[in-house]
Amino acid sequence: MIAAALLAVLVAMALVVVRALRGPTTFDRLLAANSIGNGAILVLALFGFLTGRPEFLDLGLTYALLNYVGIFAVLKFFRHGSLGAEAEADGT
């Protein structure tokens, strides 16, 4: 049953990759990248449960935090055009 769930998540991730490649706007691609990150977390959790190794849940949580921070960094870049301090120095 867990193997079937893992296969279903992998199929869903394949569909999301197609959406990321064909997305008409940047935000569609960003949403697809976030969905790929969520799918990777599910794959890690399911694989850890399937093999009986709970260490994969820690990896999944770490990846979730990186995914969260990465999405906000990309959104800030799209809004302001820079992630560094030089943009703030130009404004003063």
Average pLDDT by stretches of 10, the chain with 92 residues: 91 94 88 92 92 91 92 85 65 54
What is the total count of domains within the chain? 1
pLDDT of residue 71: 86
Helix (H, G, I), strand (E, B) or coil at 53: coil
pLDDT of residue 36: 93
pLDDT of residue 45: 92
CA distances from 63 to 56, 60, 73 (A): 10, 5, 15
CA proximity to 34, closest of 10, 61, 69: 69
Residue 79 tokens, joined? 């809004």
Indicate the DSSP class of residue 52.
T
Interatomic CA distance for residues 53 and 41, integer angstroms: 15
pLDDT of residue 27: 85
Domain that holds residue 7: 2-91
